[in-house]
Amino acid sequence: MRKSYENTQIQEDLSDETLCRLAAEGRREAEEILVTRYQRLVRTCARPFFLIGGDSEDLTQEGMVGLIKAVREYDAEKEASFRTFAEICIRSRLYSVLRAAGRGKHSPLNQSVPLDTPYLDSNSYTSGTSSLAQCNPEDFLIDREHTAALLSGVRKQLSDFEAEILGYYLDGLSCREIAGTVGKPPKSVDNAVQRIRRKVARQLLSGDLSKR
């Protein structure tokens, strides 16, 4: 028998599945807890694309749209785990937007929906997000392999400090969190990220993704 949380404060340590069920029942605070819990996953998914040339804030917002989709569409009886489903939805949103931008058919990403509390209302949830049934798993594999090859080549061009920063950055840590971990000012971390971006850009322009 399901435990009832009606008219009670929702605890932040509830399982993803329970929070999804409560969100489906209209408990907005459950949705907000999940969004907060998985913000780092969104950053982790978006950051390789930022390094390759996207806008960090815009990509994060688009990834959040994918996360909201996951919260609202997750079915515990059909999906393996919420985290897996959320990652697929986030990456699907990012790939869909980037493909559309590449075709010149997408409005500037900085015009995407704002992420103010209470996050996204249902009427602002854009219809441009493709359903998972339309996603090609091979596309995910190809894109991830391409990105992995690119970053593998770039790592050889990084200083020890930059390589350390790249690892934390791709794990979704904020610049402030990285700064606290490595004992450097946030500005030093941000400068290192910008140097990494320039090296990624040079690698892209050279067309050589084979250096390992």
Give me the CATH number covering residue 115: 1.10.1740.10
pLDDT of 77: 84
pLDDT of 117: 28
| Residues 96 and 141 reside in one and the same domain | no
pLDDT of 146: 64
User: Distance (Å, rounded) from C-alpha 148 to C-alpha 46?
Assistant: 14
For residue 7, is it within any domain? no
- Check: pTM over 0.85? Answer yes or no: no
pLDDT of 21: 92
Asked if residues 68 and 36 have their Cβ atoms less than 8 Å apart, the reply is no
> pLDDT by residue for the chain (212 residues), tens digit each?
455 555 567 788 899 999 999 999 999 999 999 999 999 999 999 988 888 777 778 889 999 999 999 999 998 887 679 999 999 999 989 888 877 766 654 444 433 333 222 333 333 333 333 333 344 545 555 456 666 677 777 888 899 999 999 999 989 999 999 999 999 999 999 999 999 988 888 877 775 544 43
Q: How many CB atoms lie within 10 A of CB 128?
A: 14
Q: How many CB atoms lie within 10 A of CB 117?
A: 7
User: Distance (Å, rounded) from C-alpha 130 to C-alpha 89?
Assistant: 9
Asked if residues 10 and 24 have their Cβ atoms less than 8 Å apart, the reply is no
| Residues 88 and 149 reside in one and the same domain | no
| Residues 115 and 180 reside in one and the same domain | no
| Residues 160 and 107 reside in one and the same domain | no
pLDDT of 102: 63
| Residues 146 and 164 reside in one and the same domain | yes
| Residues 146 and 84 reside in one and the same domain | no
| Residues 97 and 29 reside in one and the same domain | yes
Give me the CATH number covering residue 155: 1.10.10.10
Residue span of the structural domain in which 159 resides = 136-212
pLDDT of 130: 37
Number of domains making up the chain:
2
pLDDT of 151: 74
Asked if residues 91 and 146 have their Cβ atoms less than 8 Å apart, the reply is no
| Residues 165 and 103 reside in one and the same domain | no
